[in-house]
Structure 1
Amino acid sequence: MRFVVYGAGAIGGVIGAHLFRGGHDVTLIARGAHHDAIREHGLRLDTPDESVTLPIPVAARPAEVEFGDGDIVILAMKTQDTAPALAELSAVAPPGIVVVSAQNGVENERLALRLFPEVYGVCVVLPATFLEPGVVEASMAPVGGLLDVGRYPRGDDDTARALAAAFRESRFEAEARPDIMRYKYGKLLNNLSNAAQVIIGLGEQSREVVRLAREEGVECLRAAGIEAEHVEPVLAQTRPVQGRERGGGSSFQSLQRGTGTIETDYLNGEIVLLGRRYGVPTPVNELLRSVANRMAREGLPPGLMTAEEFLGRLDGRARR
């Protein structure tokens, strides 16, 4: 099978690079300067153990790819970009193509299922960085990360098992799981810290804000009857890459690159949505969502306020 990695930034670039090194047929879809750098020089993968440049074929858009029925499309863009990306894909790809969401949040699979019947989710635990065109960093080695996979909304089949096997052949730990969304909801609770990193900065200073955000998240999932499996963070397993310690996560990197958008509407905003549907107050996640969005729109760098300043803007319901 050929893997078409649609959105070859930090996560997509690292997954595509390891699949390529594992002997799989891979095509990347990347944008702008990143696409140009890969096309001209190859994709450089930096890990704690080595730096390699890989001659992976790259396209700028789905229309440049000649899709076949056996292709696997791995979505790796931010959720705010998923709907237009899927529209482009559906215009040129066979309707029965397999679409795999290797993305944060829980909305992407639902968006994909509107257009494609064969949809799979991946619970991604993979510390990666993309700040320079043509270069991605993976902060774990020799295991590149964890990529558990399953059919959406649930189920176990040959495709899920084949995907897990391909990931394992390519330096990832991976299991086929019939209840993959239970793991993705667990990862969602972890990702509620992304906006806190953006607003308050890295380190321990955001711990109380993150605790409050996750408490709201757990209450909302409980009210909605949604099961969430705890997903263990892997930050303790990361190592420096070429002497560089890994910085912040995907949202932090979005602000550093000045993309103008951030995926907080589909992380903290998912909890806000559930809270509104099921009558659970979510002031912490709402404030995280709104402030992080403003920072992205205005091009502000990470670290707008201290934890004390953030907590001071909350009403008493946030303090538990």
Structure 2
Amino acid sequence: MFATFPGLIRIPLALLLLAINIVLHVVLLFAFTLFKVILPIRAVRLACSRVLVVIAESWIGVNNRLFDVFTRTRWQVDGLDGLRRDGNYLVLCNHQSWVDIPVLQKVFNRRIPFLRFFLKQQLIWVPLLGQAWWALDFPFMKRYSRETLIRHPELQGKDREATRLACEKFRHMPVSVMNFAEGTRFTPAKHDAQSSPYRYLLRPKAGGVAFVLDAMGDALHAILDVTIVYPEGPCTMMDLIAGRVHDIRVHVRELPIEAGLTGSYDEDAAFRGRIKRWVNTLWSEKDAQAARMHMATEPAPKGD
């Protein structure tokens, strides 16, 4: 209905309703987080954690509804059959834009356990959102540059230890752990700088995948290989809100966790080589899948 409104009315109205949705749900999140923090009773904290997830799923559900009524985005999604709310997944996805996150949330909300992303430490200071992510047990990672590690070798491995601690917490709750294995958003400049062998993807990093698989162990029951394509090219969150993203395509493939995919990435050279080959093979398949998705149909015509 609102998608037919002029942009001067539609876009500010969409932004206002999205902001109201954030404030209302974050206030609820903070209220239950306060109970969780001040009451040292395990049963109460577990109950609060479950309520927090329900609130977060409601938040996402309202966002999804707002995008539906304010935009005419055409969604093509396949591979969702057989997904379980009670399953634990490692979700691996290519990374092109901040739009990837609402896309993943729309596709998986209430179909699998609540998605949790590894976030950069600085994002905890984003007003309202950063504190909400903290309340929902999103793991915050502090990454160190090569120069910093040379000056302070004692910091070596700190980010991986944080990964392990976060995953230990996830072993005791239904969870879907999201990992952008490329480590950064795709741009042509990054693609060229890496001499990436893939047409649509950057080189993946196997270390993070290996650490999650090792830390979660048998608590995970499957891997979800997700490929997202925007046929019209790169887009921003404002493009999505303004209705300028007309076509989004998502392919989901469930993969078993084979015995050879767990081991010590730092200490076992044979395992390190094996997991790198597995991730690179997966990325080759994903690149081919992205190519098929780009060629499937012509993108929707551009316009406001």
TM normalised by structure 2 equals: 0.33
Higher RCO, Cα 8 Å, sep 6+: 2
Please tell me whether Structure 1 or Structure 2 has the larger radius of gyration of its CA atoms: 2
| Structure with more helix by fraction | 2
TM normalised by structure 1 equals: 0.31
